[in-house]
Amino acid sequence: MKKYLLAPSILSANFANLGKDIEEVLISGGDVIHFDVMDNHYVPNLTVGPIVLQSLRKHGISVPIDVHLMIKPVDTLIPIFAQAGSNYITFHPEASEHIDKTLQIIKENGCKAGLALNPTTSLNYLDYVMDKLDIILLMSVNPGFGNQCFIPNTLKKISEARKKIDNSGCDIILEVDGGIKIDNIGQISKFGANMFVIGSALFNSHDYKTVINDMRKEIETS
């Protein structure tokens, strides 16, 4: 696996031409597809479901797909998303009655498991499940909508999460989602993140390859 992973988010893509748009960001250097699932209950937005994910797989999208479940409850939908083609599934601890059980369900369905933490959600949720995590997703905006500004206090949280991962000795990806742009991705990586969800900064551009190349340069020189 690459040291750093860029994960274009379909939330900012062109849904009228989704398969082609995703192909273009992958050809331009994207590593993972970030798939945001919102239910208009846990978050105030409604997005896409497993049928869209399955359609992307049938279209020929073969890279890892990182499914971020912003839904409540989560357990019954995990097997459906796994069968549709997920590789990673993350959920919010507030959306689960039993976090350990939900992580187990993800693993039993053949996916890598992760917790997603909102800007004000404590890192303490990680303490008793580090050995069951493959990925930790830190939200650097309030979940629900794209094109928000990065919350600066997230940098401290990234640093603290990186220390927890390093001290645990576990092989866990530290992912950050929200407001990531060319001018801040280097700093975010410096604080310890190694997977970056990129949305409007990429899809609002007319040149995906240049944006991705510039982001990699910022990471490598930070």
- Whether 131 is catalytic: no
Provide the 8-state DSSP code for 9.
B
The type of residue at 11 is L
179 assigned to a ligand binding site: yes
Name residues whose C-beta falls within 8 Å of residue 144's C-beta, 6 or more positions apart in sequence. 38, 43, 44, 45, 70
Annotated catalytic residue within 21, 31, 36, 134 = 36
- Whether 36 is catalytic: yes
86 assigned to a ligand binding site: no
Annotated catalytic residue within 21, 66, 134, 177 = 177
192 assigned to a ligand binding site: no
CA distance 80 to 24: 27
68 assigned to a ligand binding site: yes
> Residues 141, 179: contact at Cβ < 8 Å?
yes
Provide the 8-state DSSP code for 147.
S
146 assigned to a ligand binding site: yes
199 assigned to a ligand binding site: yes
98 assigned to a ligand binding site: no
CA distance 138 to 135: 10
Which residues belong to the annotated binding site?
A: 9, 34, 36, 68, 144-147, 177-179, 199-200
Q: List residues with catalytic annotation.
A: 36, 177
Which residues belong to the annotated binding site for substrate?
A: 9, 68, 144-147, 177-179, 199-200
Which residues belong to the annotated binding site for a divalent metal cation?
A: 34, 36, 68, 177
